[in-house]
Amino acid sequence: MSTAPKVLLVEDEPDAGAVLKDYLRQSGYQVAWVQTGAEALALLATEGPHLQAAILDAMVPPPDGPMLLRHIRQTPGLEHLPVLFLTARSEEAAELQALAAGADDYIGKPASLNKVATRLEALLRRAGPAAETPLVHDAANRRIVAHGRALELTAAEYHLLAQLLDHPSRVFTRQELLQSASPEPDEALERTVDAHIKNIRAKLGPLGSYIRTYRGLGYGLTLGA
């Protein structure tokens, strides 16, 4: 499993996008490059929890950069994603508009590849460990915290998610998870685990994709792409 930071790049110019993607990969990043806002929304819906940052060009096919930025800031689980905004417009008003909308940094185009990579590195450094551990089990207070917010879970949901979170990458059978939720589990109720997992995923929002279904085996949780 790669530990390289994963970055969303939204750039509609084929040459510029390809060059920047290759440069960032050579600099040690995983890069998911898309050319339209619609592609970006689809990728955010499936890979959002695994991203460490996003680079958005302002003028891409709709939804454009500012609309994507607003979507990120309004989506639970993505609202703290570091965002670097790129635009060919150099006016001060455009820069202020991007920062006011929630961009963490702004670069006017054309910009050197090294400048983009350096700014990206600075964003990730400022984001710190929290960007890498969005889901935390606070055992002392018997709660699960997602991006600093305690989740509202039932007792069974808490025990199930805590079991998965305390043993990342391990696959649990439904019976094993049922035992963590009830001291005297009934084998006939084993399938209720599926319902609990469904509810937990809904409450986690984009982070719900961390919980993986292993057909014929059970469930596991993987923190990272």
Q: By the 8 A CB rule, do 16 and 112 touch? A: no
Tell me the Cα Rg of the chain: 20
pLDDT tens profile 66-122: 899 999 988 888 888 999 998 876 555 666 666 767 788 888 888 899 889 989 988
pLDDT > 90? residue 18: yes
pLDDT attached to residue 189: 55
State what percent of residues in the chain have pLDDT above 70: 84
pLDDT tens profile 113-132: 988 998 998 888 877 654 45
Q: By the 8 A CB rule, do 53 and 86 touch? A: no
Q: By the 8 A CB rule, do 124 and 131 touch? A: yes
In whole angstroms, how far apart are CA 223 and each of 131, 136, 196, 220?
11, 10, 20, 10
- Taking the C-alpha atoms of residue 165 and residue 149, their distance in angstroms, rounded to an integer, is 16
Q: Pairing between strand 218-221 and 30-34?
A: unpaired
- Taking the C-alpha atoms of residue 224 and residue 184, their distance in angstroms, rounded to an integer, is 33
- Taking the C-alpha atoms of residue 140 and residue 126, their distance in angstroms, rounded to an integer, is 28
- Among 28-42, 106-120, 123-137, 167-181, the minimum mean pLDDT is found in 123-137
Strand partners, 144: 137
pTM over 0.85: no
> Phi/psi at 113 (nearest 5 deg)?
-60, -40
